[in-house]
Amino acid sequence: MRRSNFNQIFWGLVIMVVGVLFLAQNLGYIKDYSFWKYLPAILIILGLYQLFVSRLRAWVGPLLMTLIGTFLLLATLNVISWGTFGSMIWPTILILVGISIILHRGESANNFESETGHKVNVFSTFSEQNRKLTSHEFTGSEVTAIFGSSKLDLRDSKVSQPPASIQTTTMFGGVEIFVPSDWDVRLNTVAFFGGSSDKRRDVSPQKSTPDLIVTGTVFFGGLDIRS
């Protein structure tokens, strides 16, 4: 597994700080302060971070995570009631899913549908979406799986100007990305109660410039690189 040191160190420190604060409170050094109320802010930061990393090119998954974190934070701070939270979150998810379906219309489920463009977007929710890209000038993609499965096959693609980039969001689902065996793939993902890994048997040695950089968030799910 290959990860960005900055990404790993930054989120490791965030989690450590949260743990230290809770430990200090449980030991009585900090009293009358409910840190748990502010935990949804982590989702907001994470969503905004992914929007920044992708330069707004991949927005569905990060925006959804940011909105969920915002609604949760408002509910825990008693700005809105939990009943209001429930009435807001599902319509918001449905609106974003509808927009994504309209923008990414033509995607087929179950079987791999081939495309020849430079980019492709794969979005699944309570379903399976499989795409195959056969481009000699692959530049990037957005792959999202929320309570679903998304697969992207790049084994017949080439990167003319490396690195290509893929922004991923995995929430209670799974993402699989198939790449040529000689690609140098760098994983720059953040995982909470999940994981991401390069499961290719023969991993190419690192190059000065990688062929592909995979960024994103894995929340109660898994992201696998395969050949």
User: Do 212 and 183 touch, CB atoms closer than 8 A?
Assistant: yes
Highest mean pLDDT among 31-35, 157-161, 205-209: 157-161
- Given this model, what pLDDT does residue 8 score? 57
**Per-domain residue ranges of the chain:** 5-226
- The three state secondary structure string of 86-100 is HHHHHHHHHHHHHHH
The whole-angstrom separation of Cα 214 and Cα 225 is 9
37 DSSP assignment: G
The tokens describing 217, both together, are 């968030």
Predicted structure pTM score: 0.61
The 10s digit of each residue's pLDDT in 120-142 is 888 777 677 888 888 888 888 88
Closest-CA residue to 149 (of 198, 201, 112): 112
